[in-house]
Structure 1
Amino acid sequence: MAMDDFPIWRRPRHYMDVPDAHDHVHWVELFFDLIHVVTIFVLGNYLSHQLDWSGFLVFTGLYLAIFYAWADNSVYNSLYISTDMAHRATMAVQIVTMVIIAAAIPDVTGKGWVYFALGYALNRALTAHMYWRARAVSGEACPMAREQGRNFFLLAALFAISAFVPKPLAFWVFGAGVVMIQLQYMLPRIGTLRYARFVPRLGHISERFGLLMLIMLGEGFFKLVVTLADKGIYKVEAGTLVNVVMGGLSLFALAWIYFDSAGNAKPKSRDNGVLVAYWLAHIAILWSAVVMGVALAGEVYVGFWEPYPTGYGALGTVGLAVFLASLWILQHLVADRDRTCHYHSGGVLLFGIALALLVLVIHPFVPSIVGNALWGLALFSQIGVPVYRGLRDLRRGPISDAVR
């Protein structure tokens, strides 16, 4: 029996060179995804303690950096089937870098910065190493892997330099590196999107996005529970407990809406424009999921009659509007769009967006029971209207006829 018959000895191969390549997520990738539960939880805590414009901007910058750390790994694993011992060891060290990154977030603008930047630099260097191995081990004829390896090594050096540059210049250097991560894929003529082989397995990447969405929304549950536990569940009034219950149901509803509308659905084509839009829309919708998870923790601090905390309220309303707008874009980008949009139409999404923005304006001036009711109407209408339409068509005749 050949050594390549065993996953731990099987060399990295581009999925286009594997006749029986499948889209399923490997256990090593799933473990890597789960580590981001901690990272996103700590990132959400940072935002909840920095509810001002400065904290919001730092949070968004950190979110993008952490998203790319996850996404670049996901793209590599979607392009190359790597299961050997060397790859597992590399992934293990990359997981440890996420531990360092997460631990540095609470004081990232102070003494934690050096640890964050160096941890991130090592993370990027390990991604470069994966591509370099694919070039050397698999006999990859296309220069794509070599180019990606070079790009990430250079980016790792830039992030390492930012650890020792005086602040605030260090933040600008690091931010430039984060922007360059995106540009090295997408720049015309020199970005790696120009390669015909730079097309991830569509089912694999959509499944990874779905798993990350569950992680982001799960972080919201952690935040809600920890906030309530820290305050003391026995100390809060009945109105607060009702708010907390509705907050938990809202997080479940967000997952319901995403997966019924676009989650786990493959992009409708391999066209670069479709893939780029699908990618950017997921950056936005995942950001909104984290933001709403933080905002719903504000339910612990109010009963029925006082206004919802302004900072939390702004995050929740803007987050919901961005979530629904991103979902509308994704519905136009995924395969089998007619089925996903038949009941959950653009008009329903537009209603939710408009109502969320209305709550953004009025929530500081009305009791939280009013703001929560309107926000909940914006959210739960995204389930109620499609269910109503489906039941209406079911009474009229077979669902298959209605969908057609």
Structure 2
Amino acid sequence: MSIILIRGASPYGLGTADVLVEDVVIAEIGPDLVAPEGAEVIDAEGCILLPGLVDLHTHLREPGGEEAETVDSGTQAAARGGFTAVHAMANTTPVADTAGVVEQVLARGEEAGWCDVRPIGAVTVGLAGERLAELDAMASSRARVRVFSDDGKCVHDPVLMRRALEYVKTFDGVIAQHAQDPRLTEGAQMHEGVVSAQIGLAGWPAVAEESIIARDVLLAEHVGSRLHVCHLSTAGSVEIIRWAKQRGVDVTAEVTPHHLLLTDENARGYDATFKVNPPLRTDRDVEAVRAGLADGTIDIVATDHAPHPRDAKDREWDVAAFGMTGLETALAVVQSTMVDTGAISWRDVARTLSETPAHIARDESQGRPLAAGEPANLLVWDPRPHAPVDPAEHASRSSNSPFRGRDLPGRNVLTVLRGRVTVRDGELVAR
């Protein structure tokens, strides 16, 4: 049985305490705990203690996209970022639209062992948007899928979307929608606005996102089902979600770290590292999504970690792939944009990056309180250091980070998965 004593950490950033971990659970939290014989003692003075982070939106690429990422490399990146669970999107090859594929992803996660991997099932067969996938079979499989998404593609047909919402009600599932009207974004390359007009790239209007969200919250209200909005990015989308929640619609929404920090101004150099779906928006949109996260309109932060091989991004903007990596920089960006600015507290960080994502996914083993008897899924984070981001040092197979060279705060001191240290001082600890 492993025994770890974490000394002098600040749970949720409130006060200080020692934390004793025995085997797979938190045994005790309190001041001046005595280290049992054989315990590993870790000095965490000045550090924040949080429940292990949970990402509801990760692309691990396996099966089929192993050149960009594997379950093993992606979960190594997740552990280094402080995550103890990630939810793997379905747009793999083959698509995760059957019980067999989601169970394969689950098994690969268990084999890798760096963090829990929860497969997300596709809403439609092959992400084609024509007929529903095997939702019930995936839900009743060993993977116990509760989140379904065609992320990367919008479930555009309103009849199909209604049927999906109705179907997942039977097992308390949720549809996570990629809100993008395909007709309004044909050939679109970046946010439609002043910058796109000045640099000559095809514009992607905010209404393409907002119109789908508006339709879907009305469908969710009509059906009485759960809806989750992926990577919300515009001020108008925030207002629609706020309105829907005031009406009592069972809707949740996420924002990515990059939409909290970056804007369409980053596209001026035609560096395709900044090409992402949905696109980087304006300063006004960034202000709105920050405010929405602070006041609870936006429920969670999710990375939308989207690794790509170098030749898919290191090319002309219009033919480059959409997407950015994000697992290893997520908490640093949230600290920089939300905590250090006073917009949210470390307690809010635990809510938006651990507790609520786990609740949306109906994962009762993750996002648990910092209390005796709870699973020892933990993160010890030192908020004091600052360092420029170097993707070459990341565990991900891909280096398409938009934060390359940017000075960001914080350092991962310890990631603990069910009592086992997976990361110590930023370095992976082999089993």
Judging by fraction of residues, say which structure has more strand. Answer: 2
Q: Which has the larger radius of gyration?
A: 1
Q: TM-score, normalised by structure 1?
A: 0.30
Higher relative contact order (CA 8 A, sep 6+): 2
Q: TM-score, normalised by structure 2?
A: 0.28
Judging by fraction of residues, say which structure has more helix. Answer: 1
